[in-house]
Structure 1
Amino acid sequence: MYDVLIIGGGAAGYGCALTLASVENTQEWAKEKKYLMIDNGKSDILNASFFNLAGVQFGIGGDELYAKMQTQLKNFKSCETKNDTVTKLEKDGELFTVTTQNESYTAKVVVIATGMHKFEINCDLTNVITHTDVMKPGKVALDNNDNKISENLYVAGLASGAKTMFAIANGEGAKVACEIFKSWTGKSAVAHDTIKDKIV
């Protein structure tokens, strides 16, 4: 059983996973949480180079950036990753069942971050719509209200209809994680990195 299961390991998926996991040792309410990100290793990031990401090496290749995100996430024990393809998403009562080509998982919250090219998961919990904020035709998104599809079901990144920039998709993943924090704590919550006491 996972507290949050993220489908998709691109910019939005990693933005969500890193934000969730980053408070595992700083917030009492987060210390027992368990997360899983399922990624099929086919993100568009792998075929790109990046020249406008703040704080990131100019011209970094997508494969190198992807590897850095994988390494970064490994610093946190609360989040597992699986290389697999999700085939079905369903809900029974308050829990979700996520079925992949190899296994089945149960989660309390699901975040869909599958990109804009297609949505081939067998799922009657959401509607596929046309992505209207992209230059290429034939792209898809999932119907949502400010990243929320329904109770405990979220969508982030390009699958939510966001613009096709890494920084925007990554930020959307972090935003969804903070919305999940809010649902757990009943108040606004974010995942600040440590602020140093002194500026040297």
Structure 2
Amino acid sequence: MLYLSATETQWQISQDGLHHLAETFTILDTTPATTTPPTDEPPEWVLAGPLNSTFGFFYPDDWEILRQDETSVAVGMPETDLVFEASIAAAPTAKDNAEAAQKAAQKYADQLQKDYQQVQTLPAEKFQLDQMTDGATLDFLYTAADGTTKAGSIITAVSEDKLYQVIFSSSAEYYQGALQWFNPMYKSFKILPIEDVIQEP
């Protein structure tokens, strides 16, 4: 119900305008919406590995495979510079697996020094990858050719004369947040038993 009121004198003057205003009145619909906006579902985690199937790790299915060959695989988050890659190669000559892993990590740091500007690295430290407890890790920071500051880590480990490397990186400003993806990915890294490797006939 809508009431119109005015003094007698004002009513004589403004009643036509008030009636016209009343005709434009509409009742607001305050009932709750029957549907809620759709929410993004968390991604599923899927297995990735090189074509020779010697190792594997899990990555979110809304990422994409950037590169995959016999000995390496790289995945990335679309429309970002988040990249996670892993590879297998012959191990460097060393007295033990721990030394070989550290040499491999340092070799990667030395290559960064040659390829980029303003490279900063921390000393290699002992680190576990899969069941390989004598691996190594090294954090790095550098300026890319486009001026972007990149941050990342390399993890190396040696087993049965094979070197396994995991490298992940992103823009420095997003690196800490990117670890929510990178950490479970490197922790899922597994060397696959030889009986699980599918041989082509």
**TM superposition score normalised by structure 2:** 0.25
Structure possessing the higher relative contact order (Cα contacts under 8 Å, 6 or more residues apart): 1
Higher strand share: 2
Structure with higher Rg: it is: 2
